[in-house]
Every structure is written in C-alpha cells, then in structure tokens.
Structure 1
Amino acid sequence: MPSIKERLQNFLNGDNFVSRLLGKAEEKTGIKKYYLASGSICSLGLYLIFGYGASLVCNLIGFVYPAYVSVKAIESPDKKDDTIWLTYWVVYGVFSVVEFFSDIFLFWFPFYYLGKCCFLLWCMAPFSWNGSQILYDRFIRPFFLKHHRTVDSVVSDLGGQALNTAESVTRGAFKGAVTQSFENQKFK
C-alpha cells in the first residue's frame, strides 16, 4: 500500500483540477507542486485550529465540493455516482442535526474544527469504505428500516393536518375579503 506522500504525489501528477491549478502556480513561483500542496494543507490545518471563522471554512469544505460533484452526478447518465452523493448528503444532514445540539459544548475544544473537517473529508473520500458509506450502512440504514413506517404515518398525519389548516385559513381569508369588499361597496 503506497504511503500518504506517494498517494499525494500521484494525485498531484494526475490529470485533475488541483493538479492543473498547482501546475500553474508552480510555473509562476518555481515552487514544486508537492511543496505548494503540503504548505496549503498545513496552513489550512493551522487556520482550522487557530483562525477566526474556522467554522465557515470547515462548512465550506464540507459543502462546496460535494455540491459541485453532486450536480455533476445528476447531469451524468451513470446513477452509481448519484447514490454515492445522496449517501453523503444523508450523512451530512444527520451530522448537522447532531452537531446543532452538541456544538455548544464541542466548539470549545481546540481541534474541533480540524477534526470536523477531517471527518467531512473522510465522508466524501473517493473510495468505497469512506465515512458516509460506513455510517449509512452501520447506523442510519438500520435505524431507518426499523422506524420508517412510524415516521411515514406521522408525516402523513401532519400532512393531513397541514392541509386542513391551510383550507381553514384560506376559507377565513376569503370570507374576510368578501365581507370587506361587501362593506366597502355598501358605504359608497
């Protein structure tokens, strides 16, 4: 199994957006792609530990690239990539809900945003045993299969109640508008 350094060098020598971008930077600065990438990764890591706005940067990392490749997946004829990114978004959504309630305590930890960023990168990693696939298969899917009928009935009941409420509000608003119109004509 190749080391992290070898995998990074293979990635940087491949034909991809990052490699082309770093190639242009290498031409202009004379600094090798590997050092530019390593320096950028270290700088990002330090910023996520000490920087102001680390939450925003971390959320952008967890959202921008996955959103971009999700749109590409939607536009491609292959449906396998759709499933991969739908799985990521399900895990991202569950993580966001859990994080909402635990963020008050967790953001005080010095390496929280660095850890969160690493977690999100693991969830979107381009291999079959990435975080989203593992978390979905081990936790989310079994929970869903166990409780989906109950959730479906609650959603159906809420949908019916929402429809009834909307009808009542619409009738009341229409009745009020008709009454107001009638009173306006009566006084003219």
Structure 2
Amino acid sequence: MMGSFVSKTLLLTFGYALPAYECFKTVNKSKPEETKQLIFWCQYWIVVAFLTVVEGFGDTCISWLPLYSEAKLAFFVFLWYTKTEDSVHLYNSFLQPYIVKHEKEIDHSLSMLKFKAMEFVGFAWNKAVIYGQKGFTGVLNNVTSQVHLDKQGSTSP
C-alpha cells in the first residue's frame, strides 16, 4: 500500500489534473482536426463526474478495502489511456444510453433542485437579515444604554 497521502496525491494528479490539462489543451487549440480528441476528453469527464458522484455515496462502504486508493488510481489512468479509450466505451455503452433514456426526468429533477435551492437561499438570506437586524439593534441598544448611564454618572455629585 502506498499510503493515503501518496495515493490521493497521485489520484489528484493523474485522475484529475493531467486529464483536465489535456482537455484544456484540446479545447484551447479549437481546430477542427482535434474534434475527436475533444470528444474523447469530454466523454472522459462525463464518466469521471458520474463515478465521483456514485463514489460519494458508496465510498464509505468500500474505501476501507486494502489498496482501494491504488485501484482507483489505476482505474482513472485506465480510463484516459488513449490506446484503450475505455472511457469512450463506458460512455457509449452505459452512460449515454442511460442518460438519454432518463434525460427528461433528470432535467426535471435538476430544475426542481435549482428551484428548491433558490427557495432555501432566499429563506436563509431572510433569516440572516432578521438575525443581523436583531443583533445590530441589540448592540445599538447596549451602546446607547451605556452612554445614558455614563451621562447619568457624570452629572451626579
């Protein structure tokens, strides 16, 4: 086992940073002949995003397994290794058909989630303003009562 720090560093480097940089270079060139490469990196990121979300729910169940981080690192390298193009295979065989089949439900769920998030932000903002006003009013009352007491204390013999 490499250890958690080393394997996480390698995973961040080879699972995220290197592919992100390759994607950046491909997008930044923006020449028609790089379209295949651009599609490859976009499909890679779609697969990685999906796996990261799934892992967020299942990580606590399997992260205790020996060599988990190392296996994860190997899997990410396996996905972007361009000779095998396994991210393309995963995308075309599993993710794309699933997402296309459920696209309307996903869009609806995401719009509802955005709506509820905006409602929550509005609610939280209103509560923060109310608490801020109460706190500010309390501080002002405290300061004015101190000033009033100081004036009374200075006028008495």
RMSD (CA atoms): 3.1
Match of 1:12 in 2: none
TM-score, with structure 1 as normaliser:
0.57
TM-score, with structure 2 as normaliser:
0.66
Alignment deviations for residues 116-173 of structure 1 (CA, whole Å, 9 cap, x no partner):
444323321224x611100000000011011121111111112112222222232333
Q: Structure 2 CA distance, aligned partners of 1:120 and 1:71?
A: 18
Gaps of 5+ in 1: 1-49
How many residues are aligned here? 137
Q: Residues 124 and 130 of structure 1 are in contact (CA less than 8 Å); yes or no, is this contact kept in structure 2?
A: yes
Q: Does 1:77 align with 2:30?
A: yes
Quick one: which amino acid aligns to residue 137 of structure 1? N
Quick one: which amino acid aligns to residue 7 of structure 2? S
Match of 1:145 in 2: 100
Identical aligned residues as a percent: 20
- Shift of the 73–181 alpha-carbon distance from structure 1 to 2, 3 Å rule, reads same
Match of 2:3 in 1: 52
Q: Structure 2 CA distance, aligned partners of 1:109 and 1:177?
A: 50
Q: Does 1:157 align with 2:112?
A: yes
Q: Structure 2 CA distance, aligned partners of 1:107 and 1:185?
A: 55
Larger radius of gyration: 2
Structure number with greater CO (CA < 8 Å, separation at least 6) is 2
Q: Residues 62 and 120 of structure 1 are in contact (CA less than 8 Å); yes or no, is this contact kept in structure 2?
A: yes
Q: Residues 19 and 41 of structure 2 are in contact (CA less than 8 Å); yes or no, is this contact kept in structure 1?
A: yes
State which drifts further: 71-80 or 96-105.
Answer: 96-105
Quick one: which amino acid aligns to residue 92 of structure 2? D
Quick one: which amino acid aligns to residue 38 of structure 2? D
Quick one: which amino acid aligns to residue 45 of structure 2? W
Q: Does 1:122 align with 2:78?
A: yes
Q: Give SS of 2:102's match.
A: helix
Q: Structure 2 CA distance, aligned partners of 1:178 and 1:157?
A: 31
- Shift of the 168–113 alpha-carbon distance from structure 1 to 2, 3 Å rule, reads closer
- Shift of the 185–84 alpha-carbon distance from structure 1 to 2, 3 Å rule, reads same
- Shift of the 86–103 alpha-carbon distance from structure 1 to 2, 3 Å rule, reads farther
Quick one: which amino acid aligns to residue 39 of structure 2? T
Q: Residues 79 and 86 of structure 2 are in contact (CA less than 8 Å); yes or no, is this contact kept in structure 1?
A: yes
Q: Structure 1 CA distance, aligned partners of 2:93 and 2:143?
A: 70
Q: Does 1:173 align with 2:128?
A: yes
Q: Does 1:61 align with 2:18?
A: no
Gaps of 5+ in 2: 145-157
- Shift of the 169–153 alpha-carbon distance from structure 1 to 2, 3 Å rule, reads same
